[in-house]
Structure 1
Amino acid sequence: MIPISNLEFGWFTIFVILLTGYAILDGFDLGVGMLHLFAKKDSERRVMLNSIGPVWDGNEVWLVTAGGALFAGFPDIYATMLSAFYIPVMALLSALIFRAVAIEFRSKEKMAWWRWTWDVAFALGSFLIALILGVALGNLIRGIQLDQYKEFTGELQDLFHPYALLVGFLAVSLFLMHGAIYILMKTEGELHDKMRLRAVPCIIIFIICYATTTMATLIYMPHMIEAFQHRPFFFLIAIINLLAVANIPREINLGRDVRAFISSCVNIICLLALYAIGTYPNVIRSIDQPDQLSLTIYNSASSPLTLKILFVIAMVGVPLVISYTIAIYYIFRGKVKIDPHSY
């Protein structure tokens, strides 16, 4: 029989894996969306849009699955999180909807104003999704006001703390860089050369945000490094993270776009692993009384029977999602070609 603590830890691990899958896959979608508006020619924008055309909706499945995993495995955390972040969640859903509509409607008409309107919606929606997710993550690291009934007692403006905003802009810069590298892999010719130039400032902006957020975390969020003090081998993840970040501009300069993209993926994996290790076992940290009022994977989990059933479902569902994702990316591998049925 699996011990209860292992069930809770296992389901938390599955949740983090799903969240990481979303960040890697939809992350470059969001980056392409934000960079889309900087393309001058309509043909270039179409190529960028079609680079994610076959995969963007499938990538969002990972976010839906992660939300379902949180709801099923940790219902108290799900309820408190949606209550605390009610307005940001509504804004996130609106951005997701408008972004999807923009992708589908943009090429339905050829009028310049029509395409420009949906281009702006696509870029703005992508930016807001990245920013909101980053700000939410920043608040989970910093902590929010909770009472003994697991209810959020703060105000909306409390969520826009400078540290939370800093993490939000880190997420934006991360996805910008990730998207720029993805476009390099999927394009050729003049657009590829232009994107190689645009990738450089994206990388620089990310490195600045990365260094600033790291310093702010070390100085103002000391609880995030407690696990590393007790288990120094966790520092290996931080070292791998630094090496992955350093390798990205190196591979770009050498023209090895695929390797740069792999390094960007490793960077995302390490960042979310560091987040999970630093906050564990808390998912929603109480800023006032973290030891008494925080919602952890142990005091907010579903019953052992529910978790066991969920594990059975996950053992079937997760491999299917992974297999589907691999198949789609294999089918649509290679450079983007525009045809009459393209976006």
Structure 2
Amino acid sequence: MELTTVWFILIAVLWIGYFTLEGFDFGVGLLLPVLARDDTERRVMINTIGPVWDGNEVWLLVAGGATFAAFPEWYATLFSGFYLPLLLILLALIVRGLAFEYRAKRPEASWKASWDRAIIVGSFVPAVLWGVAFANILRGVPINAHLEYAGGFLDLLNPYALLGGLTTLALFVTHGALFVALKTDGEIRHRARRLAVPAVAVSAVLAVVFLAWTQQQTGTTASALAFVLAALALVGAGLTAHAGREGWAFLGTFATIALAVAGLFLALFPDVMPSTLAGGTSLTTTNAAATAYTLRIMSVTAVVFTPLVLAYQGWTYWVFRQRIATHHIPESPVATAAAR
């Protein structure tokens, strides 16, 4: 197997890791005003992702860095053509990270409410725009003969791409609801379980339409198999959520997102960014790749460090595996100090 194909697969794996892990992060943030009734319950929800959200974002950084090093032409065209949506995603992630860190710094309700809104918006923007961006990559964008993006921002807001954004939003909300049900106890857990079943139904409708549209446009036999398995995993998630089996239901949405993203990359290969222009040039794993020497050095580095990163992140999830309830939340030290 050529190294260009190997690195295409590795980048696909990195995006699968990002969407499956950061996906429930976004879902928890989006559900903050839906599942929590007071500040203590909001703290419970935030604490479910507190130890892992920043580690989950590392998958995005590594995916971007790997794309830059392995496929520099892909990176350059993608970040120049999708500059505005990617900038909005970056700003949303920055604001969201600040909200997690600064929310508890002052006791005023207005202060916390402002940062809660930042968490919601910071989760909503990337949840939608990542779907829009990937849908456009699959559909193809105007790339001229010089491998430069020749369109505008409005070209990205087509019906197929907007459906992709709604699909990722619905899947992440469902994934987040099941994660909350899996990681909490008490009333929050019951609310999350009640929400999960209709959320699965909405996600299933959107996902089936989007994946069928994708298969009709650029699909292959391999992508069709992945999409069918993704649909079956989502059905399984709905059935197990209805039965109150949060762990299996969460694994179902995890598998759904992983298989759907894998199917998207299978439908894309060997292109990395197809061109919609008659005289344009599509970016492929061949003409967008770095030199063979660069890919060899990267491969050695990946073989050494990837198992270490996976082991460390797996250990983190194991350490913080226990459920959280309102009685585990101590009084805010900031509020106590203010009262004194």
Range of TM-score over shorter length: over 0.9
Separation in 2 of the partners of 1:274 and 1:143? 16
Describe the superposition over 1:204-247 as per-residue Cα deviations: whole angstroms up to 9, x where unpaired.
2211211221343345x2xx22x21xxxx654323322220110
Percent identity, aligned pairs only, is: 39
Separation in 2 of the partners of 1:135 and 1:333? 33
Separation in 2 of the partners of 1:71 and 1:341? 43
C-alpha contact (below 8 Å) 1:130/1:172 kept by paired residues? yes
- Which of 111, 114, 126 in structure 2 is aligned with 1:114? 111
Runs (5+) with no aligned partner, structure 1: none
Return the offset for 1:120.
0.6
- The 3-state SS of whatever aligns with 1:301 is coil
Aligned pairs, number: 330
Aligned twin of 2:295: 307
With normalisation by structure 2, the TM-score equals 0.93
Separation in 2 of the partners of 1:321 and 1:19? 15
Separation in 1 of the partners of 2:211 and 2:200? 16
- Which of 305, 308, 311 in structure 2 is aligned with 1:320? 308
Aligned twin of 2:5: 9
2:192 pairs with 1:195: yes
Aligned twin of 1:210: 207
Q: Is the deviation greater in 280-289 or in 303-312?
A: 280-289
Aligned twin of 2:338: none
C-alpha contact (below 8 Å) 2:201/2:238 kept by paired residues? no
C-alpha contact (below 8 Å) 1:50/1:342 kept by paired residues? no
Aligned twin of 1:167: 164
Describe the superposition over 1:307-331 as per-residue Cα deviations: whole angstroms up to 9, x where unpaired.
0000001111211210111010011
Q: Is the deviation greater in 191-200 or in 126-135?
A: 191-200
Aligned twin of 1:243: 232
Separation in 2 of the partners of 1:313 and 1:341? 44
With normalisation by structure 1, the TM-score equals 0.92
Separation in 1 of the partners of 2:48 and 2:196? 16
Aligned twin of 2:255: 266
Aligned twin of 2:27: 31
- Which of 284, 289, 313 in structure 2 is aligned with 1:296? 284
Separation in 2 of the partners of 1:207 and 1:95? 27
Aligned twin of 2:318: 330
Equivalent AA in structure 2 for residue 210 of structure 1: A
Return the offset for 1:109.
1.6
Equivalent AA in structure 2 for residue 335 of structure 1: R
Separation in 2 of the partners of 1:67 and 1:200? 34
Separation in 2 of the partners of 1:321 and 1:200? 34
C-alpha contact (below 8 Å) 2:223/2:267 kept by paired residues? no
Equivalent AA in structure 2 for residue 59 of structure 1: N
C-alpha contact (below 8 Å) 2:142/2:275 kept by paired residues? yes
Aligned twin of 2:140: 143
